């Protein structure tokens, strides 16, 4: 059994119609409930719920404060390699884009690690393009022998791996796994992933479960918003998160709402996802899953991120660079996508304090 079986059951549902049938009265009813069901979650994602965003925000805010307090965890991505064997039409690292590729040596990793640690950051996520050769489990585990000295929590966002590989990584000290499905629509998935191992929809969909089974402390999922109708994508993401939370109770499940950003190709998102849509998605998720971590990256603008802080977000990246070696030698390599919020860690910390939130730099200890 995996989430794929659940997914099979619902994927053909006429979501657009179901969403359009929701009435304001349905939304009101759901907002009065304590715990909400899957169909209630669907109601909160509907166009009818757009008239209740303030009520949803109040509820999401209260739930978040109760579960997480007035705190916000900060982290940074560390790009180790931009080699990739796939052709995702929306990403600059696609094998079709020709540019000089780079992978950090252990010495270079140490230099970048030092630079990040100096900003006061304790939690990082290692990122690479998808290449079993250039970002192998061995390479990542080796990098941990250096990174351990500088950070108290290290996650990965790399190509999907087998359970045994994840077990090796957990052994090395890596404690979180992020893998976005990109899009839960199989047809669109095949269209935009034209070549490479990433074409295997099922293998990717089962990845979070392999991570849970391997003992990752936290596993983060998400859909890249803009590839399909966002209401449906967010609904399935929520069901996926709930499924994982139920089945792997030891793992902390988190979700993210990445929106497509400008990149080296000229990919135009097929579906528009407005700020209002993003907010609705986030609020509905918080109300549906009160204990799930929600991450917001520097893909979003400064202004929007400021506003999103009290709406259910529990983790934020700050001062991110999305290029390999970007913390010590910026603008020398290709960035994965443009970032929108370029503020420093100190600026983000000050902003959080100003908003009445404690920036949490450290929330785990590699044992």
Partner 1 sequence: MNDQLHIGGKAFESRLFVGTGKFADHKQMKEAIEQSRSEVVTVALRRVDIRKPDEHILNDIPQDVTLMPNTSGARSAEEAIRIARLAKASGMGNWIKIEVISDQKYLLPDNEETTRATEVLAKEGFVVLPYMSPDLMAAKRMQEAGAAAIMPLGAPIGSNRGIRMKEMIQIMIDEMELPIIVDAGIGKPSEAAEAMEMGASAVLVNTAIATADNPVEMAKAFDLAVKAGRLAYLSGLGPTSMRANASSPLTGFLK
The contact set with ligand SF4 (CB under 6 A) reads 84, 86, 88, 91, 93-94, 129-130, 198
Kindly state the number of chain residues that form the binding site for partner 1, as judged by CB under 8 A: 29
CA 121/CA 341 separation, integer angstroms: 17
Burial 328-362 (b: 16+ CB within 10 A, else e): ebeeebbbbbebbbebebeebbebbeeeebebbbe
User: Judged by CB under 8 A, which of 2, 71, 194, 333 binds partner 1?
Assistant: 71
Q: State which residue, 48 or 241, has the beta carbon closest to partner 1.
A: 241
Shortest Å distance, C-beta 52 to ligand SF4: 35
User: Judged by CB under 8 A, which of 28, 50, 110, 252 binds partner 1?
Assistant: 252
* Contact partner at residue 364 from partner 1, ligand SF4, none, CB < 5 to 8 Å by partner kind: partner 1
Give the DSSP letter string of 249-293.
TTSEEEEE-PBP---SS----SS---HHHHHHHHHHHHHH-TT-E
Q: State which residue, 94 or 143, has the beta carbon closest to ligand SF4.
A: 94
Q: State which residue, 12 or 367, has the beta carbon closest to partner 1.
A: 367
Q: State which residue, 199 or 213, has the beta carbon closest to partner 1.
A: 213
CA 327/CA 111 separation, integer angstroms: 9
Q: Identify the DSSP state of 245.
A: H
Q: State which residue, 145 or 301, has the beta carbon closest to partner 1.
A: 145
- Residue 153 phi/psi, 5° resolution? -155, 130
CA 347/CA 32 separation, integer angstroms: 38
Binding segment toward partner 1, per CB under 8 A, in 18-26, 51-59, 94-102, 351-359: 351-359
**Residue showing tokens 């050769």:** 133
* Contact partner at residue 88 from ligand SF4, partner 1, none, CB < 5 to 8 Å by partner kind: ligand SF4
Contact between 340 and partner 1 by CB under 8 A: the answer reads: no
């Amino acid at each position: 059994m995996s989430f794929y079986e659940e997914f099979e059951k619902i994927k053909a549902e006429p979501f657009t119609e179901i969403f359009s049938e929701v009435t304001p009265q349905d939304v009101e009813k759901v907002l009065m409930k304590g715990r909400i069901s899957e169909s209630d979650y669907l109601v909160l994602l509907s166009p009818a719920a757009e008239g209740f965003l303030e009520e949803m925000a109040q509820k999401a805010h209260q739930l978040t404060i109760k579960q997480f307090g007035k705190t916000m965890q900060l982290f940074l991505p560390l790009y180790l390699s931009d080699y990739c064997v796939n052709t995702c039409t929306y990403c600059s690292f696609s094998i079709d884009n020709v540019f000089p590729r780079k992978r950090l040596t252990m010495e270079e990793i140490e230099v970048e690690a030092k630079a990040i640690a100096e900003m006061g950051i304790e939690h990082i996520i290692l990122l690479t393009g998808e290449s079993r050769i250039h970002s192998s489990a061995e390479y990542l585990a080796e990098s941990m022998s250096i990174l351990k000295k500088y950070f108290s929590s290290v996650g990965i966002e790399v190509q999907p791996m087998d359970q045994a590989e994840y077990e090796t990584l957990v052994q090395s000290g890596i404690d979180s796994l992020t893998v976005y499905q990109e899009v839960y629509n199989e047809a669109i998935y095949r269209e935009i992933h034209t070549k490479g191992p990433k074409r295997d929809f099922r293998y990717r969909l089962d990845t979070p479960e392999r991570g849970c089974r391997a003992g990752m402390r936290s596993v983060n999922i998400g859909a890249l918003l803009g590839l399909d109708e966002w209401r449906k994508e967010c609904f399935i993401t929520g069901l996926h998160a709930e499924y994982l939370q139920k089945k792997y109770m030891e793992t902390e499940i988190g979700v993210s709402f990445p929106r497509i950003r400008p990149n080296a190709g000229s990919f135009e998102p097929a579906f528009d996802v407005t700020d209002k849509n993003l907010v609705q998605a986030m609020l509905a998720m918080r109300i549906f899953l009160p204990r799930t971590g929600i991450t917001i990256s520097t893909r979003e603008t400064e202004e929007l991120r400021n506003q999103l802080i009290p709406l259910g977000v529990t983790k934020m990246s700050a001062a991110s660079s999305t290029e390999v070696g970007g913390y010590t030698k910026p603008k020398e390599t290709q960035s994965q996508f443009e970032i929108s919020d370029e503020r420093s860690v100190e600026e983000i910390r000050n902003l959080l304090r100003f908003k009445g939130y404690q920036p949490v730099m450290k929330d785990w200890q590699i044992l």
